[in-house]
Structure 1
Amino acid sequence: MCAQPGASIVSIALSHDLNANFVDQWIRLQAQNISCSLGLESEQSLTHKCV
């Protein structure tokens, strides 16, 4: 749902009675987990290491 083009994190969060900041954080964490599983560490991984 959040990955669809034009999707608004705020509207999706509100439609599920969630805080938009939490949804944004979950999306970022999921993207980081995918990057780690593919072995793609970015510059931002200096603070968040792949485990």
Structure 2
Amino acid sequence: MILPAALRYLTADDWLELDEAFGANRDPFSGSEIEGEMDRLFSLIVSTVSESIH
């Protein structure tokens, strides 16, 4: 609902402003050592979903 409305109503200048704003934000996880933690979280989510399907 939101994306189609944005495509319909936002101008080219609006999109440029949005691109600049998002481009200025940095990745909060950049440079951190959380990859192992994310792998464990992913595995937990997958196993939980798999259990709920069966």
Asked which structure has the greater CA Rg, the reply is 2
TM-score (norm 2): 0.40
Would you tell me which structure has more helix in proportion to its own residues? 2
TM-score (norm 1): 0.42
Indicate the structure whose relative CO is greater, using CA pairs within 8 Å and at least 6 residues apart.
1
